[in-house]
Amino acid sequence: MNYIFIICILISSFSFLGYSVSYFISPNMKNEFKRLNVERSGFLVIILEILGALGLLVGLYYKPILLLSSGGLALLMFLGLVIRIKTKDGLLISLPATFYMLLNAYIFYLAINESGLAF
């Protein structure tokens, strides 16, 4: 694994862990789910983000978990971006979801190429 690949994994993993913790500490996070009209899915999304973040770390040692976690987080962020587009959020507010979708898609791409499963 190269250093850029590892740094991308660590940035994504710790970002999602921090975001997930803030959901339980700050009422602002829960209010954001209410504003986006996905309040009922909020807890599930946070659990998936925690699992994905931990999976990225485990994936440093076990490649199939890295593929599952990075692909899952990229998909989760894609769906988050779709919700933001549907609610007509601006580009600046949608930027984090876009960034993390692309970051995790990049991790997925590198992991699949490194594992020899490339198409």
Side chain identity at 19, as an amino acid letter?
A: Y
Average pLDDT of 26-51? 91
Q: Which tokens go with 66?
A: 């890295």
At residue 1, the 3 state secondary structure works out as coil
Domain boundaries, given as residue ranges, for the chain: 3-114
- Give which of 2, 4, 1 is closest to 103, Cα–Cα: 4
Average per-residue pLDDT for the chain: 93
pLDDT of residue 1: 66
- Give which of 83, 77, 69, 82 is closest to 40, Cα–Cα: 83
pTM recorded for the entire structure: 0.91
> For 13, phi and psi rounded to 5 degrees?
-60, -50
Report the share of the chain in percent with pLDDT over 90.
76
